[in-house]
Amino acid sequence: MDYKRILTVQDISCFGQCSLTVALPILSACGAETVIIPSAVLSTHTGGFSGFTFRDLSDDIPAISAHWQKEGIDFDAIYTGYLGSLKQIDMVKDLFKNHTRKGGIKVVDPAMADNGNLYYGFDQEYANAMATLCKEADIVLPNITEACFMTGVEYKESYDREYIDTILAALENAGMKDIILTGVSFNKETTGVIVKTSKGVEYYSHKKIPVGSHGTGDVYASAFCGALLRGKSSFDAASIAANYTLRCIENTIGDESHKYGVKFETAIPYLIEELNK
């Protein structure tokens, strides 16, 4: 197995099982050397908590990059999640330019919205800027809400395949390359992901659990990147990540004291087993 090096840029929510506290262990478990740049430090994530602390780390990012350039540090993949500010989007563009190895992969999870609404602290200007970052990525991982905010397509809770095709076309027209559209559900029993690459469009579905869980987008994106670095195709990586995320949710259901995240650690052996097939 090749030993790949990946950089992930996203926040540290000290409590809550999301962002870097999810990405680092999952990517490491997948066998990748995982390097981090924290975009911000929060006491907890912003979902379901009030009075959380927030420290923007934007001023540190250019200095980190400059030091790495001096040391010749680069990456087989760069994967971004939650970014704390507009200026960090431009900083990530510089990271892509200065630290991606030849043949390296740039993956953007535009973590900013869900269920028809932007996350706390984000606005349409941010969504427009995120679309420009996604244009520079090789693979983007938006959910339907994020895709709509980036393209201007009207958000709908009920939809058909034609609507999803409209979103995919809008993302492609915005300059995005390979697209993994998550949270695509055509009935009450199943949900899944649409994978659009130069080879075509494929849909993977699995059973739907009608329970909202914080951090599952980060779990999914991290498992996807880990599988991709293990040599899996985009479709296989998307399917493995979907199954793993489902297992994480299943392992958490019933624990009323654990509503702030999913017990992703308990399902890591399952993820490794799937990667070794």
Question: What would the pLDDT profile of 151-174 be if each residue is shown by its tens digit?
Answer: 999 999 999 999 999 999 999 999
Q: For the chain, which residues score pLDDT lower than 70? A: 1
What pLDDT, on a 0 to 100 scale, did the predictor assign at position 1?
67
pLDDT digits (tens, 9 = 90+) for 67-107: 999 999 999 999 999 998 899 999 999 999 999 999 999 99
The CATH fold assigned to 5-179+212-275 is UDP-N-acetylmuramoyl-L-alanine:D-glutamate ligase (3.40.1190)
Q: Which 8-state DSSP code applies to residue 45?
A: -
Contacts of 238 (CB under 8 A, 6+ apart): 180, 193, 195, 204, 224
Length of the chain counted residue by residue = 277
CB 76 within 8 Å of CB 104 = yes
Domain boundaries, the chain: 5-179+212-275
Give backbone dihedrals phi and psi of 104, rounded to 5 degrees, phi first: -70, 165
The single-letter code of the amino acid at 155 is Y
C-alpha 248/C-alpha 34 separation (Å) is: 21
Task: Supply the pTM of this predicted model.
Answer: 0.96
**Structure tokens of 51?**
């009075």
Contacts of 261 (CB under 8 A, 6+ apart): 16, 17, 18, 45, 213, 214, 215, 252
Residue 108 falls in which region: left (phi positive, over 0), alpha (psi -120 to 50) or beta? beta
Packed helices 268-275 and 216-229: angle between N→C axes, nearest 10 degrees: 30
> What is the DSSP pairing of strand 100-108 with strand 113-114?
unpaired
What pLDDT, on a 0 to 100 scale, did the predictor assign at position 250?
95
Neighbours of 150 (CB within 10 A): 28
What pLDDT, on a 0 to 100 scale, did the predictor assign at position 2?
85
